[in-house]
Chain A
Amino acid sequence: MAASEIPTASEAARQRAAEFLLHRHHFIWPEALPWLLAIAAFFVFPDRMTIGTQVLIMIMFALSLDLILGYAGIITLGHAAFFGIGAYTVGLGLARLGWSEPISGLIAAGLVAAFAGMIAGWFLLRYRGLTLLMLTIATAAMLQEAGNIRSDFSGGYDGLPGLTFDPLLGLFQYDLYSHTNYIYVLVVLAVVFYFVRRIVYSPFGQALTGIRENVRRMHAIGSPVHRRLVTVYAISAGIAGVAGALFTQTNAYVTLTVFDFDTSAKVMVMLILGGTGRLYGPFLGAAVYMLLEDKLSKMSPTFWQFGIGLMLVLAVLFARRGLLGLADTVWRKLARRGAP
């Protein structure tokens, strides 16, 4: 059918769709808000930067999960595996090889974790549902057990303490209040975020959403589904590895608990809380979760745990798209009411 046979009414619709596709990846001003808040926090709460740094690291970790879970629809309860691999790459690199330069260590951690993600993904991503879930749990658990078997090398559950890295770029010393760390992590997060944003709006990102929504149709139109999934899994693992490396560098220690089931479950809760399949879901989710945890878990760990559970149940029943999704809905309702 020639293009000229398409009725003109749909020509306009096509134009609108094309317009939308061309412009939707453009930066819009509300996107500056989380970054401005992060910078403002640095000046308003200079003495709370230790927790602030951890929030940023968890945002990055949740962002990596969002890429595979929110966009590609891969359910995993073992993402801590890659966080841990990154954390131990820089930890062991310093403790055993004396590799104390932080930025090259960070890049190495990302590459090692991405490579591990590629291998694991190539094996695991043929499976779905419970099988996939169990295999991801087993991956993280096996790494943890392996680390424990060779605890003479890995430091085991006592960890690798007292890791002192070189000053950043040879210029910035680490201070007691984590000011250097905060800026360091914020800059890395910005770089990673830019990268993720590009991926999400690329044709590759579109294909991932297609796989999430209808994998059969993607097979039918000839999309290389397995290769795409392995690719995004490796990218996500790499980002998780960078987050893990930052965790080790900013805390100056690392133990095998990074591979805990709890770590994987926690990051998933953060993502769900903020909203999956959205670029800023991880920001809101991780920040709200970490700040609440900081306050509430000190008051009563039991109630905090009950609260997380209740939050998950309510999120599934009433707010499947997370806090940002909820905000979206409310915003639309208000806008409709406001309109004549």
Chain B
Amino acid sequence: MPHLLTIAVSILFDGLAYAMFLFITSVGLSVTMGLMNFVNLAHGAFAMAGGYVVVSLTHSLGIGFVPSLAIASVLVGIASVPFERGLYRRLYKATDLEQVLLTIGLAFMAIATFTFFYGPIPKSVPLPGWLQGDVNLGFRSFPSYRAFLIVLGVVLITILWYGFERTNIGAKIRAAVDNRRMAESVGINVDRLFTLTFALGSGLAALGGGLAIQLFGLTPYFAVLYLVLFLIVVAVGGLGSLKGTLLAALVIGIVDTGGKYMFPQAGNFLIYAITAIVLLFKPAGFYGRE
């Protein structure tokens, strides 16, 4: 029995850490998709770009891991704005198919570009001492890096929740997700709001990409390999819902971790099965609007 409990605690802990990574990376995608109904398959590319910026900053410039994460998310957030202004906005009114094609094209170009500069071999990142090894929580010890992920996740969730629910801009975003035309007619500049959330979402994705290096290693194919996972979190959670994205990230993160502990041969089957079941019963996701 104590053995089972140990496993359960490990699954919960690792699953939670994984869920935080999923949440941080996907939340921006959920909000931008909720705002403009734009199918953005290049989101993973921004995460991947963030990862490589962190690699460059830590290896070439010797900047610490945590400051690099911050710099990478700001840089990628800013760099995403021209893409939104120049390319995405032309297709807001276009069909899903055209949005899918444009963004998948961008993802391919990003993969090729980063392969050209960094090569196809997985990259790693040097961690500061306090993120290596284990941290003792009294009753048992856990890997410090995952503990760091969970703490960071909780902090970000609190900030995002506050920003979304308690600030003026958050209220505008919620209004625009609910009813875009109504929001526009009461004078909310949805266009500018979208650019802002897009930059924020891409910045968070970049942060997620930086955090992922230690978990999975980083190759240019990160952009499409994990994209399906982010899309699953968004679709299962419901477009534009913070709560939904968090719930979906928790479900997917914990179930996937548990599945890999207990049925390692099943691979990702469980994730897809859950996705299919949830979407068949709730096509708009946990908290989405029909």
Interface positions of A (Cβ within 8 A of B): 69, 75, 77, 123, 126-127, 129-131, 133-135, 137-139, 141-142, 145-146, 148-149, 261, 265, 268, 272, 302-303, 305-306, 308-313, 315-317, 320
Residue picked from A135, A268, A312, A317, most chain B C-beta under 10 Å? A312
Q: Is B186 an interface residue (CB 8 A)?
A: no
Contacts of B115 in A (CB 8 A): 302, 305
Whether the Cβ atoms of A142 and B272 lie closer than 8 Å is: yes
Main secondary structure of the interface of B (DSSP, over half): helix
Whether the Cβ atoms of B113 and A306 lie closer than 8 Å is: yes
Whether the Cβ atoms of B109 and A309 lie closer than 8 Å is: yes
Interface residues of B in 223-282 (CB under 8 A from A): 224, 228, 231-232, 234-235, 239, 265-269, 272-273, 275-276, 279-280
Interchain CA distance A306-B112 in the complex, whole Å: 5
Binds A, one of B10-18, B91-99, B146-154, B202-210: B91-99
Whether the Cβ atoms of B231 and A265 lie closer than 8 Å is: no
Interchain CA distance A310-B276 in the complex, whole Å: 32
Contacts of B275 in A (CB 8 A): 134-135, 138
Contacts of B228 in A (CB 8 A): 137, 141, 261
Tell me how many residue pairs across A and B have CB atoms closer than 8 Å.
119
Contacts of A69 in B (CB 8 A): 97
Q: Which residue of A lies closest to B111 (CB)?
A: A305
Whether the Cβ atoms of A130 and B231 lie closer than 8 Å is: yes
Residue picked from A123, A142, A311, most chain B C-beta under 10 Å? A142
Interchain CA distance A80-B224 in the complex, whole Å: 17
Whether the Cβ atoms of A134 and B267 lie closer than 8 Å is: no
B219 to chain A, nearest CB (A): 13
Interface residues on B, range: 35 or more
Select which of A129, A139, A265, A316 is within 8 A of B102 by beta carbon: A316
Interchain CA distance A265-B94 in the complex, whole Å: 20
7 contacts between A and B (CB under 8 A): A127-B279, A134-B275, A135-B275, A142-B269, A146-B269, A148-B267, A309-B108
A222 to chain B, nearest CB (A): 24
Q: Is B37 an interface residue (CB 8 A)?
A: yes
Interchain CA distance A272-B95 in the complex, whole Å: 14
Residue picked from B90, B91, B265, most chain A C-beta under 10 Å? B265
Select which of A135, A141, A306, A317 is within 8 A of B109 by beta carbon: A306
Interchain CA distance A61-B91 in the complex, whole Å: 28
Tell whether A320 pairs with B112 under 8 Å between CB atoms, given A135-B279, A309-B105: no
Tell whether A149 pairs with B109 under 8 Å between CB atoms, given A75-B100, A142-B273, A317-B90: no
Whether the Cβ atoms of A313 and B96 lie closer than 8 Å is: no
Contacts of A303 in B (CB 8 A): 112
Tell whether A142 pairs with B276 under 8 Å between CB atoms, given A130-B234, A317-B90: yes
Interchain CA distance A194-B109 in the complex, whole Å: 37
Q: Is B104 an interface residue (CB 8 A)?
A: yes
Select which of A130, A137, A308 is within 8 A of B33 by beta carbon: A130
Residue picked from B100, B106, B267, B280, most chain A C-beta under 10 Å? B100
Interface residues of B in 85-140 (CB under 8 A from A): 87, 90-91, 94, 96-98, 100-102, 104-113, 115-116
